[in-house]
Structure 1
Amino acid sequence: MNTTLKKSLIAATVLALLVGGGWYWNAARKLRTTDNAYVNAAIVQVASQVTGQVVAVHVKEGGFVHAGDDLFDVDPAPYQVALAAAQAKLAEARQGSQANVLGVDAARAALAQSQADLNNARAQAQRTHDLVLAKFVSKQAEDDAQSKLQVAQAALSEAQSRLGQAQAGASTVGGATPAVRAAVAAVDAARLDLQHTRIRATQDGWIANITLVPGTTVSPNQPLFALIQQGSFWVDANFKETELPGLHPGQTAEVRLDMLPGKTFPAVVESLGGGTGAAFSLLPAQNATGNWVKVTQRVPVRVRFVGSAATQPFKVGATATVSIKLAS
């Protein structure tokens, strides 16, 4: 009896192992799993667009901000002064423009006077010439008249040149002279710099890696801290190149995070990397030597969270395990 029972137990155990093994093998055929995976997200490097001293910081590490919220302020005083100076130069340019218009009117009047003087000199020269022919006046009188005519012609040419210069100085594009347009551009640039002394969030997200404090002097385009965009989290799963067959964008996946044991998050395959991780490293591997050893490479597969998981505040760089379903 004992022998029969032992045989039955052994048979049952073997059958259970066979069934379990078959189930595991069947499930493994429908899944690709790797624990070489890390959480990532869209990260904005926050920087100032102007130079100056920070006078206020409105955020702290891990704080959540909405798009448009104030992040920090740069001392606006120098830029307020610059704006006032630019506005004063604009007023001066507009006054100069008005003076140029008056100068054009004066030049036109001078030209008209010179034209009248020339007409008078021409008529006087003709009359003198007739009197010389009639021998009523001397030849010297005619020479004097011709000299006055030449002077009047030169005065007319000078008046025409002055009118041209005045018109060039008063020329406008869109109702403004070049000097006024340059002054307007300077005011706009100064006003923009003043607006840039208050740095605001460009999108919703969490503040990270911030050490900025009031009193710090900042320079343009110098990264100061990070803003992790809400809803942008994904996982870079590094699969072996031999595991890539059967993987393609759109497949469903499950993500388990080491920092949140027991929880599974739905995801979908977004893309397969265009090369191995080693190919895009700072110093790619060189295998042209004679002692080359073949090593299986890994290719990053981007897996994007979906559903309610898409808005979860995960931690960038956290380790994960990713399972991709090959078939339903």
Structure 2
Amino acid sequence: MKPTSEETHETQVRSRKPLIIAALVIVVAIVAAASLAYGEWANRPDVWTNDAKFDADYTVISPRVSGDLVGVHIEDHDRVERGDPLLDIDPRDYQVAVDNAEGLVAAAKANLAEIEAKLAQQPAQIRNAEATVRQDAANADYARADAARYSRLRHNGNVSEQNAQQANANARALDAQRQADQATLDSVRQQTAVLKAQRQSAEAALIQAQTQLRQARLELSYTQIKAPIDGVVAEQSARVGAWTDAGSAQLAIVPVHAIYVTAYYREVDITHVKPGQPVSLSVDAYPDLDLRGHVKSLAPATGTTFSPVSSNDVSGNFTKIVQRLPVRITIDPDQPGLDRLKVGLSVETTIHTEA
């Protein structure tokens, strides 16, 4: 029996029902996700603080040697480049130390050369001593044979007792000479080992003298103090003729080209702060100057963490204080007015966390 039109329509509705339900589920999921995203975005407002200032990693210049200042080539607020001369310390004492060290090196080299020459002569001296011992052995053997012959002739009455005794004494003398020359040979051979030990000692002495020379030259170079970085001179206290001790601060160089901002945000304001987020900067000293930057990093601890005095209250009376966390902000380059910035100036910062 052929189905009616009403039955056909009802069948089509039932077949479409799962599709409609699935579409509704997808729409609800999209709406929920959009609501959550909007809520998250809406709960991430800009965070602002006026507890911020310009900072720079400035370098304090201190001499590495002591002496009288004989030259001061800079003044406060001068711009310097890396390698520019800053201060000169009297180099005469250090030049004397270099000259003395050079003399020690020359003496050590001469001593080593003398020992090397003696070592070079050792083979010839050993050969000469060996030849002498061989000659002594031959002479002693001949003398002993001659003494034995004279002894036989004496028994036969052909030579006198005196001649026999003289031949015997000569044999003993030549044998003693052989033993003496053998001792000399042994001594010459042992002298080689002695000279080798002396050579090692001389080489060590030369290395020590060369080290002293390098140290003396290094200290001499320290009498000329040069700028280690580019920047602007500040806190210059050096004066010509004044005595300066090694390690005493004479001036500072501030790299004004590398100024950044340190902002101290309350802990409740950093919930959504992350590196890379854009920052608006307003400088108190220049109300007309608005700058841009971005979050470089967040400190690993609050400022009070490194305080020498502990903040723990052992009395039992606790007052909760909102902590502040240092946030480093890098200033974007190529903005007008960057040359007007000074380290230590106050600045207001607004981090756009929605970005």
Q: Under TM normalisation by the shorter chain, which class is it?
A: 0.7 to 0.9
Task: Select 1:262's aligned residue among 278, 281, 288.
Answer: 288
1:155 and 2:184 are equivalent in the alignment: yes
Q: Which string of whole-angstrom CA distances, capped at 9 and with x for unpartnered residues, describes residues 147-189 of structure 1?
A: 33322221112112223333443469xxx94443333333322
1:327 and 2:354 are equivalent in the alignment: yes
Q: Distance in 1 between matches of 2:315 and 2:290?
A: 45
RMSD of aligned Cα (Å): 2.7
Higher mean C-alpha displacement, 259-268 vs 295-304: 259-268
Residue 165 of structure 1 corresponds to: 194
1:312 and 2:303 are equivalent in the alignment: no
How far apart are 1:274 and its partner, in Å?
0.7
Distance 1:278 1:252, change over 3 A: same
SS at match of 1:289: coil
1:236 and 2:262 are equivalent in the alignment: yes
Structure with more strand by fraction:
1
Structure 2 residue ranges without an equivalent (≥5): 1-40, 153-163
Q: Which string of whole-angstrom CA distances, capped at 9 and with x for unpartnered residues, describes residues 71-116 of structure 1?
A: 1111112222222222233333333333223333444443333222
1:1-328 to structure 2, matched below 5 A, reads 29-131=44-146, 135=151, 142-170=171-199, 177-309=203-335, 312=339, 314-328=341-355
Task: Verify the 8 A CA contact 2:256 2:343 in the aligned structure 1.
Answer: no
Q: Which amino acid aligns with 1:291?
A: N
Structure with more helix by fraction:
2
Q: Distance in 2 between matches of 1:230 and 1:34?
A: 23
TM-score (norm 1): 0.82
TM-score (norm 2): 0.76
Q: Distance in 2 between matches of 1:266 and 1:80?
A: 53
SS at match of 2:285: coil
Q: Which string of whole-angstrom CA distances, capped at 9 and with x for unpartnered residues, describes residues 185-207 of structure 1?
A: 33322222222211111111011
Q: Distance in 1 between matches of 2:309 and 2:106?
A: 59
Identity %: 25
How far apart are 1:273 and its partner, in Å?
0.9
Q: Distance in 1 between matches of 2:340 and 2:203?
A: 56
Structure 1 residue ranges without an equivalent (≥5): 1-25
Q: Distance in 2 between matches of 1:299 and 1:32?
A: 13
How far apart are 1:62 and its partner, in Å?
1.3
Q: How many residues align?
A: 300
Task: Verify the 8 A CA contact 1:230 1:313 in the aligned structure 2.
Answer: no
Q: Distance in 2 between matches of 1:50 and 1:32?
A: 50
How far apart are 1:67 and its partner, in Å?
0.8
Q: Which string of whole-angstrom CA distances, capped at 9 and with x for unpartnered residues, describes residues 263-311 of structure 1?
A: 1111111111111111111223113331111111111111111113595
SS at match of 1:231: helix
Q: Which string of whole-angstrom CA distances, capped at 9 and with x for unpartnered residues, describes residues 239-267 of structure 1?
A: 11111110011111012121222311111
